[in-house]
Amino acid sequence: MKYWLMKSEPDVFSLDQLKKDKTTWWTGVRNYQARNFMMKDMQVGDEVLFYHSNATPPGVAGIARISKVAEPDKEQFDKKSEYFDPKATKEKPIWFCVQVEYVAHFKNYISLPELRDNAKLADMLVLQKGSRLSIQPVEKKHFDILTKLGGA
DNA sequence: GCCAACGTTGGC
DNA sequence: GCCAACGTTGGC
């Protein structure tokens, strides 16, 4: 069992929306490091901190879970999609996405300033300067602290 | 809207 | 393989 943090802009796709939809395919990731985490490391049942980026304030909104392992991201083949990739073919897809299911909202939204204030979380990737990676591994000890703080 | 940090592209 | 130019992310 692994733990992850996945970023989403709430204006584009929020945890509320995931609650409504129950599950979603995490399409549109166009970064190789993030893709490789989805393709190689994520397993069904892995738990995910759902992080709202570009929010006011940014922070962790709650928990989701991996519900299907990675498959080719269909948007790479769709000329009308903003995620279309002309180099990708059905035989040789470039981009993959996992399916994520809703688990819970935190009772207490954990804002980025609160994360920064907690010394025990200081080495979380998301808190490192210039950390733009949209999918990040999270250590169990950090995940446990977050769920306690959030009151999940 | 600004801009620092980072990833990708492409010329050489 | 280097690296400048460019595009994107994401906090503020």
Whether any strand B atom is under 7 angstroms from the Cβ of A86: the reply reads no
Whether any strand B atom is under 7 angstroms from the Cβ of A43: the reply reads no
Q: Which residues contact A20 (CB under 8 A, 6 or more apart)?
A: none
What pLDDT does residue A74 have? 94
What pLDDT does residue A47 have? 98
Chain B nucleotides covered by protein, CB below 7 Å: 4-8
Q: Could you give the CA distance from residue A72 to residue A44 in angstroms, rounded to a whole number?
A: 16
What pLDDT does residue A80 have? 86
What pLDDT does residue A86 have? 87
Can you spell out the DSSP letters for A13-38? S-HHHHHHHSEEE------HHHHHII
What pLDDT does residue A152 have? 67
Rounded CA–C1' distance between A151 and B8, in angstroms: 40
Residues A83-110 have a mean pLDDT of: 94
Rounded CA–C1' distance between A55 and B11, in angstroms: 39
Alpha carbons within 13 A on the beta-carbon side of A21: 14
Q: Catalogue all structural domains in chain A, each as residue range(s) with its CATH number.
A: 3-140 (3.10.590.10)
Both tokens assigned to A76: 């790479």
What pLDDT does residue A16 have? 97
What pLDDT does residue A4 have? 98
Which parts of chain A are beta strand (E)? Answer: 3-8, 23-25, 47-52, 59-72, 96-111, 135-138
Nucleotide nearest to A85 (CA to C1'): B8
Average pLDDT of chain A is 95
Q: Could you give the CA distance from residue A102 to residue A112 in angstroms, rounded to a whole number?
A: 22
Q: Which residues contact A91 (CB under 8 A, 6 or more apart)?
A: none
How wide is the angle at C-alpha A146 spanned by C-alphas A141 and A152, nearest 5°? Answer: 120
3-state secondary structure of A56: coil
Residues A66-90 have a mean pLDDT of: 92
| pLDDT tens per residue, range A97-149 | 999 999 999 999 999 999 999 999 999 999 999 899 999 999 999 999 999 99
3-state secondary structure of A11: coil
Cβ atoms of A59 and A109 within 8 Å: the answer is yes
Residues A40-59 have a mean pLDDT of: 97
